[in-house]
Structure 1
Amino acid sequence: MTTEMKKIGAAGDVLVERRGNAGLITLNRPKALNALSLQMVRDLLGILRAWRDDPEVRVVAIRGTNKIGRPGTPDSLFGCFCAGGDIRFFHQAALAGDAALDDFFTEEYTLNHLIQTYPKPFMAFMDGVVMGGGMGLSQGARVRIVTERTRMAMPETNIGLFPDVGAGYFLSRCPGHVGEYLALTGETIGADEAIGYGLADVRMDAAALPALWAELGATSWPSAAEAEQWVASKFIANTDRPVCATGKIDTYFSLLRVKHIVDALEKAKDDRWAAKVAVVLRKRSPLMLHVTLEQIRRARSMTLADDLRMERDMVYQCFHLRPGAESVEGIRALAVDKDYQPKWQPARIEDVKPGMADAFFASPWSAQTHPLRDL
């Protein structure tokens, strides 16, 4: 059975289509690089829950539109997956004391958990920009497809936040201390590194994606088992994972404290990579670097649900602790005023005292009242 693509939500920012046994989702907010709004999160939760419980849906896939092609035409599909959450909304809601900000994170993390635990094959077409909330939509997928255009990152320390959407869980499980490196620096990586670090499964040419998308809609799977077998044989069994050396990263990012990492990088002689990374870290929020390092190391021994609950506590503190000094200021400097001169508090890594990060891990809720208690 083929159905027409249907717009979900008043703005039509999410498009859904049932083709045969496939449930197909297209993020359709290209001018914002498919950044997630609260309504988009709610739309995605609704459709994924419905398809989870529909025995005729065997496989689910998600992609994004881009802002180059003409809307509704093949050249507008793919090319940009999702740039994250709508940080302008975060800024406005935080300043206004809007409760929708808390709703956004609770519902987004619920969505992340649903994808990570989805009982049916879930495929993410991670073409183009895949950052922040886009990683939350894709890291739980059974098949994570990247292309030569993939630009992947968790850049939250650049705006006074920490890598959330379950990043503590999936980054801490990268080889060696790559998780600390990606979380602290916000470094953008391509397809081969993504696969080598365990953050993607399959590399394809971007030009081949439309045919695969069409194949999903045209293939009939009489049973869930046959759909599982199709996915396993076509993608998982043939995965050839490149090996990415992590020795240099491990040398620095295994060190105990942020100050130790930066000092070692700055003292490395004739190492351009180390010097470059040190400069990047000096630009990030000093306080949130400390919070993020602690997050990744705590999450390494956590379950997904416990990590998401921890991150929900952390993001509450980011916007309510002072209230939101680092996060509101970082978003202002990067996305609102665009002066790119955030006034971090404290201003230097050396000024972050032991224990300052601890407040971010204090939960404002009991286990019984936590908004993610049912995960």
Structure 2
Amino acid sequence: MTLALVHSGGHVEADVRERVGVLTLRRPQALNALSLGMIRDLTTALLAWRDDPSIAGVFVQGALEEGKSVAFCAGGDIRFFHQAALAGDPRLEDFFTEEYWLNHLIHRYPKPYIAWMDGVVMGGGMGISQGARLRVVTERTKMAMPETNIGLFPDVGGGWFLARCPGRVGEFLALTGQVLGAGDAVEWGLADGHLPSTERESFLAALVEASREGADALLRQGRALLHTDAQRAVALHREAIDRCFAEADVPSIYRALEAEGSEWALSVLAALQKRSPLMQAVTLEQVRRARGMSLAEDLRMERDLVRHCFHLRPGAASETVEGIRALAVDKDHAPRWNPATIEGVTTQTVQEFFRSPWPVHAHPLKDLA
């Protein structure tokens, strides 16, 4: 049985296998990056299945197509962000409000929601997977929150789930956009286990069979099949991460990495020096505020932040618009950040991002529980 979806032009498929709803992202030419239509179709399917007693759980995956890079979901459609920001397109506001509402729905979904995180899982792809009851990675997983590379911050609940990584891992991942494989993702609580990519169909078949006995059996069977031992690479540097990324501000983190002096620390420092200085400072503040917030509070904060990313400096003056231009539009990989160095970032400029543009009663995410 297929659920009729009308917004994404076929980029989201919703099928039912016995008692399991199966969501498939099918936009391989864009690494399954989310459009507004895809967000609406995912929401439609999840709401329909939430209230359908014949559905025991949901499985979400990215489609595989010959000759394309493997991706679960590479994030949001950043080319759309760029075009919409320059054109004043109101759908840009709708995109983030509806995406964050979907992220919250997934985190609070009453039925088992299981994410098969094969291949590229970044940005918005993390937003539709981190709330899953089971987050399954593979040997091909490339996981990251790389938003500072485009003058943005780790949104889609990134402040909340990164802040709950051990030690100062959250600050490290948020600022650097470091790519993780399966072992590091499991080690740091961003995945629940791993399986070979070749076992997707057999894993799904096992879930379908278990679903005949209900949601609890489905979840137990899925968890029982996962492995948690995998090679770690980045996690080997955990002690240095905790030392350096516990510093009070971004300039101090830079100095700590320089003092650390290892090849690894200097490579991290070099990567940071290519990111937006302003958005690194905003991101550090975001993650540290989020440690004391509920998910709903964090998403409301992120909605404020993303509004400011496009409107404190409108149009081409936006750090985010400039970052996307350099990475995905002109592809010169030479963003003109403003300010150009971390020393030029002022506390006042950072704090402006955290002043909500809406009164509480009018906030677009005021109804999140």
**Take 1:41 and 1:145, find their aligned partners in 2: how far apart are those partners?**
21
Offset from partner CA, 1:41-67 (integer Å, 9 cap, x none): 000111100100001100101000134
1:371 is aligned to 364
Code of the residue aligned with 1:36 in structure 2: it is L
State which of 258, 283, 287 in structure 1 corresponds to 2:250. 258
**Take 1:170 and 1:88, find their aligned partners in 2: how far apart are those partners?**
26
State which of 12, 15, 35 in structure 2 corresponds to 1:14. 12
TM-score w.r.t. the length of structure 1 is 0.92
CA-atom RMSD, angstroms? 1.8
**Take 1:339 and 1:88, find their aligned partners in 2: how far apart are those partners?**
15
Is 1:157–1:284's contact at 8 Å kept on the other side of the alignment?
A: yes
**Take 1:374 and 1:101, find their aligned partners in 2: how far apart are those partners?**
20
Code of the residue aligned with 1:21 in structure 2: it is R
Is 2:19–2:211's contact at 8 Å kept on the other side of the alignment?
A: yes
Code of the residue aligned with 1:255 in structure 2: it is E
Compute the displacement of 1:229 (Å). Answer: 3.1
Aligned pairs for 1:309-328 (under 5 A) are: 309-323=300-314, 325-328=318-321
Q: SS where residue 217 of structure 2 aligns?
A: helix
Compute the displacement of 1:247 (Å). Answer: 1.1
2:86 is aligned to 95
Q: SS where residue 125 of structure 1 aligns?
A: strand
**Take 1:239 and 1:366, find their aligned partners in 2: how far apart are those partners?**
47
Structure 1: gaps (5+ residues) = 70-75
Q: SS where residue 264 of structure 1 aligns?
A: helix
1:230 is aligned to 218
TM-score w.r.t. the length of structure 2 is 0.94
1:210 is aligned to 201
**Take 1:328 and 1:319, find their aligned partners in 2: how far apart are those partners?**
7
Residue 351 of structure 1 pairs with residue 344 of structure 2: yes
**Take 1:54 and 1:48, find their aligned partners in 2: how far apart are those partners?**
10
Offset from partner CA, 1:237-273 (integer Å, 9 cap, x none): 976467945211001000001000011212333x000
**Take 1:361 and 1:370, find their aligned partners in 2: how far apart are those partners?**
14
**Take 1:210 and 1:295, find their aligned partners in 2: how far apart are those partners?**
39
Which deviates more, 316-325 or 145-154?
Answer: 316-325
**Take 1:58 and 1:366, find their aligned partners in 2: how far apart are those partners?**
39
**Take 1:233 and 1:66, find their aligned partners in 2: how far apart are those partners?**
25
Which deviates more, 10-19 or 229-238?
Answer: 229-238
Code of the residue aligned with 2:206 in structure 1: it is E
**Take 1:55 and 1:349, find their aligned partners in 2: how far apart are those partners?**
54
Percent identical pairs in the alignment equals 56
Residue 267 of structure 1 pairs with residue 266 of structure 2: no
Code of the residue aligned with 2:352 in structure 1: it is A
1:81 is aligned to 72
State which of 30, 33, 45 in structure 1 corresponds to 2:31. 33
Offset from partner CA, 1:83-121 (integer Å, 9 cap, x none): 000000000000001110000000000000000000000
Code of the residue aligned with 1:19 in structure 2: it is R
**Take 2:224 and 2:303, find their aligned partners in 1: how far apart are those partners?**
32
**Take 1:143 and 1:128, find their aligned partners in 2: how far apart are those partners?**
17
Compute the displacement of 1:216 (Å). Answer: 3.1
**Take 1:120 and 1:241, find their aligned partners in 2: how far apart are those partners?**
27
Residue 331 of structure 1 pairs with residue 331 of structure 2: no
Offset from partner CA, 1:265-302 (integer Å, 9 cap, x none): 12333x00010000000000000000000000000010
Q: SS where residue 247 of structure 2 aligns?
A: coil
2:185 is aligned to 194
**Take 1:311 and 1:203, find their aligned partners in 2: how far apart are those partners?**
30
Q: SS where residue 81 of structure 1 aligns?
A: strand
Offset from partner CA, 1:305-356 (integer Å, 9 cap, x none): 0000000000000001111510000000000000000000000011112222
Structure 2: gaps (5+ residues) = none
